[in-house]
Amino acid sequence: MIEQLNKWHKTRLGLFVFALIELAITYGFASLAIDRGNFLWYILALIFLVGTLQNLVRLIKELFHANS
């Protein structure tokens, strides 16, 4: 099952969905960080933000690579 999820994650739709999910998680952690002021929430928000950006960059590369 993990292997199937990994294959799907590498598709355009998979990258987009994972980016959206990670963005929502980032928003939640950022809201907690601002509300509570806990450094751990800031770190978690930053980690998920990096994951979101990685998925978006891979998606953009995939879109431009497919059109070339």
Report d(CA 49, CA 32) in Å as an integer.
14
Report d(CA 56, CA 11) in Å as an integer.
12
Any domain includes 23: yes
Residues 5-26 pLDDT 10s: 889 999 999 999 999 999 999 9
Any domain includes 39: yes
- How confident is residue 32, by pLDDT bands cut at 50, 70 and 90? very high
What is the distance of C-alpha 56 from the center of its chain?
Answer: 7
Any domain includes 6: no
How many structural domains are present in the chain? 1
Any domain includes 2: no
Identify whether the C-beta of residue 29 lies closer than 8 Å to the C-beta of residue 41.
yes
Largest CA distance in the chain: 47
Q: What is the pTM of this model?
A: 0.86
Domain hosting 58: range is 12-67
Any domain includes 37: yes
Any domain includes 1: no
Any domain includes 42: yes
Any domain includes 36: yes
State residue 66's pLDDT score.
72
